[in-house]
Amino acid sequence: MSSETLYVYAIIPAGSPAPTGAGINGSQLHTVEAEPVSAVVHTHHAGPYEGPDEDVKRWVLEHSDVIEECWNQASSVLPVSFNVMVQASETSGATAAEQLRGWLQDSGQELKQRLQELAGTSELRVEIALDAAQFPQNEPEVLEATRELAGKPAGVRRLLEKRLEKVQRRLTDAGADRLYPDYRMRLAAQCQQIQDYATTQRPEGTVSVLSAACLVDSERISELGAELTQIQQEQPSARIRFLGPWPPYSFVDIDAGAGSASTPQEGKSSAET
Amino acid sequence: MSENHLPPAHGSAVEQPSALQPTRDPGATLPDLLEVLLNKGVHLNLDLIISVADVPLIGVNLRATIAGIETMIEYGMMRQWDDQTRAWVQRSLSRHLPMADGEEVVAAMAASHLRDDFQRIWRPGRAYLTTHRLIVHRRDPAETLWQTRLDSIASAESYTEPSVGGEDRMRLKIVLHDGSVARLSALDADRLLTLIRQQRQVPGGAQAESAAAEDQGPRMRGTMWYLETFAQGATWRGGKATLTREGMLTWKSPLDNRASLRIEPAQLKAVHLEKHSNPTSQAQVLRVETTSGEVRLAGPDLHKWHQLLHDDTESGQEVDHGAGSQ
Amino acid sequence: MALEVNEESLKHGVLTLVVTLVEVIQEALETQAVRRMEGGDLTEEEQNRLGEALLELDEAMDQIKADHGITESVMDLHRGLDDVVNEVVDKLINPQRWAQDAQGEVR
């Protein structure tokens, strides 16, 4: 594919300063504007980015750097996924820029509204897990299984340890079920929106209680942090990861156009008090 | 559960020294960032897209398999596979135990039948409950030890008696319409009894109701909206509510990893129906008061939920007279 | 995308796959062994023999992974497989998450 395409990084409010840094592989950035929004892009001459994992990682980071810069400079940003490109139309003969402008105009009001809603917010990720060895350490079942280990030959111990591990995980998982509602409620009280996600990283020997992307007023991140400190103090076997702040990647919530099979939408309806 | 969810107050100018600081260290967050950037964000579609994140990462490639399975389920392939397995079992069984047309095995388990003519003797075999009959069959040498049509069964109940070895064993007593009585033992007599009753709605002995109820899931379960409170305002979220036999009320969104609501019977204080805007066409929502606060639920069959939960609070310590808001 | 076939990377990839699958099988064996033990089917002598065999397998696997420098990649693939299995199970027991019926309810 040799025709000229536009690689899209982000959508920002029209009139925001264009990012000064470089894009993927040092490419030069510019904006395509269509009131009330504009798109941050570079002119691309090849197909999608493909290659070894190491290259993909680097490209994704360069992509995210551009979004970061937009996020720091513009009042608000809608991050666009990696490897999204706009192509010239073969049927109408419209250039890539015209195609993109057309899409921005069609979805302009929706995009603008979401930009306003996300202004001044950050995404933080909270992962709370329980140490499966520590959490149930005083449960009778665990004490019993531990006692059984003593004085047994190595082979038997190997099996008994496996069983102990199973017991620990089951008890910890039941504990996680009990703790989740409280943690969820306390985090939600500090957030504008919350979205559970499946953890990609599980530290060895832990059971996940809650993994959530949190949309937070950028001024109030420390309040969320304080709540987590509180949780840590109450529950010494909790292992907490607190990541961010990032642009609101998980809360873009826009599926422009029709009939795509992209990320599932939250089952939400009206907000009210 | 503490109700003090506020961060500790600080009188000094020190800025919240106790608040956990989020990390942006790329070493720690890179995998998360990759995940987010590859799966989230605006997806342009229409015909002007070349590609949406078609990245040769193994995690992403493996996900394609899932899409495949989803398609399989959609097109009912799993069901077909299941049907084929069942048909095979059916065929292999019919070689030694003849079945009528349309007759299907519902359950099979090790069992014995008591022959009680000139000598009392338990003869071991397998019990087959089919859609038509209850059979105790021995495979080798092949012999049907006892059988009856389900519609000939007048009653079925369980009782215990000491076995030869001295232990109490559970037996089944099956009374037929012609007045004859058969006694069976089975590996899982409870389950067999439940299934017999389900299959024929046989009026059981005294504890028929409770025995059959034991085995069937929660007391109530259904679609429900739950009002979740955020920093600014609250949002109704869709999901499923469940009231277990033990009286625990839970609510879980299919998008969450665990249930957001979990009210033990001891935590339940009162339930009320009240007027409140909600996503359903009804005006009322269910307000549930617990020892740690209150929650609001909306959905179909609200009156039935209210009734069940209300009865629970009555049987508990608190009596609620203020529920009649209708 | 062109497949990169160089002998080193091929060996690395195939070995990773094989070792990961052996790990998965070992987990299944362990689960089965523990279940038998709980069911009281095994004498202590049998338990010990089984456990020792598993211990030897642990050591052999660690050795192979260290020798070929695939500890990290086996861990990644194993995790990836777990995720896929979890997703499939989740999809089967929790079809609403995918059908999104939570949303269809209102309007």
End-to-end distance of chain B based on CA atoms, in angstroms?
Answer: 33
In a domain, A68, yes or no: yes
Q: Quick one: B171 and B185 in the same domain?
A: yes
CA angle, A202 then A207 then A208, to 5°: 70
Size (chain B), residues: 326
CB-based contact B189:B170 (threshold 8 Å)? yes
How many CA atoms are closer than 13 Å to the CA of B305, on its beta-carbon side?
Answer: 28
- Please state, in angstroms and rounded to a whole number, the distance separating the CA atoms of residues B295 and A28: 53
Q: Of the given ranges (A95-104, B89-98, B99-108, B144-153), which has the lowest mean pLDDT? A: B89-98
- Mean pLDDT, range C86-90, rounded to an integer: 68
The two tokens of residue B160 are 């215990």
**Tokens 């980071």 correspond to what residue?**
A61
Give tens-digit pLDDT for B221-260: 888 999 999 998 898 998 899 999 888 999 998 888 899 9
Grade residue B95 by pLDDT with cuts at 50, 70 and 90. Answer: low
Q: Quick one: B194 and B233 in the same domain?
A: no
List, as one string, the DSSP characters of B135-179: EEEETTTTEEEEEEEGGGEEEEEEEEEE-TTSSEEEEEEEEETTS
Q: Is residue B43 pLDDT above 50, yes or no?
A: no
Nearest to A245 among B22, B235, B258 (CB): B22
Kindly report whether the peptide bond that precedes residue A245 is cis, defined as omega within 30 degrees of 0: yes
In a domain, A193, yes or no: yes
At a CB cut-off of 8 Å and minimum separation 6, what does A104 contact? A11, A32, A34, A37, A38, A39, A111
Give tens-digit pLDDT for A131-189: 999 999 999 999 998 998 888 899 899 989 998 998 999 999 999 999 999 999 999 99
Instruction: State the chains in contact with C (3 or more Cβ–Cβ pairs under 8 Å).
Output: A, B
Q: Quick one: B207 and B235 in the same domain?
A: no
Note whether B282 contacts C: Cβ–Cβ < 8 A.
no
State whether residue B2 is helix, strand or coil: coil
| C48 contacts A153? CB cut-off 8 A | yes
At a CB cut-off of 8 Å and minimum separation 6, what does A64 contact? B33, B37
Note whether C50 contacts B: Cβ–Cβ < 8 A.
no
Q: Quick one: A125 and A109 in the same domain?
A: no
CA of B29 vs chain C CAs: smallest distance (Å): 16
In a domain, A272, yes or no: no
Q: Quick one: B190 and B224 in the same domain?
A: no
Which of B58, B77, B226, B297 is most worth mutating to test chain C (most C CB atoms within 10 A of its CB)?
B58
- Mean pLDDT, range A223-243, rounded to an integer: 95
Q: Of the given ranges (A253-257, B116-120, B195-199), which has the lowest mean pLDDT? A: A253-257
Q: Is residue C62 pLDDT above 50, yes or no?
A: yes
User: Residue B289: what pLDDT?
Assistant: 94
User: Residue B202: what pLDDT?
Assistant: 46
At a CB cut-off of 8 Å and minimum separation 6, what does B235 contact? A193, A268, A269, A270, A271, B227, B228
| B20 contacts A226? CB cut-off 8 A | yes
- Interface list for A 63-92 with B (CB within 8 A): 63-64, 78-87, 89
The burial of B306, by beta-carbon neighbours within 10 Å (0-12 exposed, 13-18 middle, 19 or more buried), is given as: buried
In a domain, A268, yes or no: no
Q: Is residue B170 pLDDT above 50, yes or no?
A: yes
User: Percentage of chain B surpassing pLDDT 90?
Assistant: 18
At a CB cut-off of 8 Å and minimum separation 6, what does B125 contact? B111, B112, B113, B136, B137, B138, B139, B143, B145
Q: Quick one: B178 and B111 in the same domain?
A: yes
Grade residue B151 by pLDDT with cuts at 50, 70 and 90. Answer: confident
Q: Of the given ranges (A170-184, B62-76, B172-186, B191-205), which has the lowest mean pLDDT? A: B62-76
Q: Is residue A261 pLDDT above 60, yes or no?
A: no
Q: Of A89, A119, A149, at which residue does a domain stop?
A: A119
In a domain, B229, yes or no: yes
Size of interface B-C (CB pairs under 8 A): 46
Range of the domain at A78: 5-119
Q: How many domains does chain B have?
A: 2
Grade residue B103 by pLDDT with cuts at 50, 70 and 90. Answer: confident
In a domain, A263, yes or no: no
In a domain, A266, yes or no: no
- Please state, in angstroms and rounded to a whole number, the distance separating the CA atoms of residues A49 and A56: 7
Q: Quick one: B235 and B208 in the same domain?
A: no
| C103 contacts B238? CB cut-off 8 A | yes
Grade residue B97 by pLDDT with cuts at 50, 70 and 90. Answer: confident
Instruction: State the chains in contact with A (3 or more Cβ–Cβ pairs under 8 Å).
Output: B, C
| C97 contacts B279? CB cut-off 8 A | no
- Please state, in angstroms and rounded to a whole number, the distance separating the CA atoms of residues C27 and C50: 13
- Mean pLDDT, range A250-254, rounded to an integer: 77
In a domain, A169, yes or no: yes
Q: Quick one: A126 and A231 in the same domain?
A: yes
- Please state, in angstroms and rounded to a whole number, the distance separating the CA atoms of residues B151 and B128: 16
CA of C79 vs chain A CAs: smallest distance (Å): 9
Which of C84, C86, C90, C100 is most worth mutating to test chain B (most B CB atoms within 10 A of its CB)?
C84
Q: Is residue B313 pLDDT above 70, yes or no?
A: yes
In a domain, A269, yes or no: no
Residues of C whose CB is below 8 A from B225: 105
Q: Quick one: A106 and A145 in the same domain?
A: no
Which domain CATH number covers B246? 2.30.29.30
Q: Of B154, B184, B214, at which residue does a domain stop?
A: B214
CB-based contact B45:B26 (threshold 8 Å)? no
| Residue among B73, A199, B38 at smallest CA distance from C83 | A199
Range of the domain at B160: 99-214
The overall average pLDDT reported for chain A is 86
Smallest CA–CA distance from C102 into chain A, residue: A267
Residues of A whose CB is below 8 A from C4: 52
The burial of B282, by beta-carbon neighbours within 10 Å (0-12 exposed, 13-18 middle, 19 or more buried), is given as: middle
CB-based contact B127:B108 (threshold 8 Å)? yes
CA of B255 vs chain A CAs: smallest distance (Å): 7
Sign of the Cα torsion B307, B308, B314, B317 reads: negative
Q: How many domains does chain A have?
A: 2
CA of B72 vs chain C CAs: smallest distance (Å): 11
User: Residue A92: what pLDDT?
Assistant: 82
| A156 contacts C103? CB cut-off 8 A | no
Q: Quick one: A176 and A101 in the same domain?
A: no
Q: Of the given ranges (A109-113, A229-233, B22-26, B83-87), which has the lowest mean pLDDT? A: B83-87
The residue among A27 and C3 whose pLDDT is bigger is A27
Q: Quick one: B104 and B178 in the same domain?
A: yes
Q: Quick one: B122 and B197 in the same domain?
A: yes
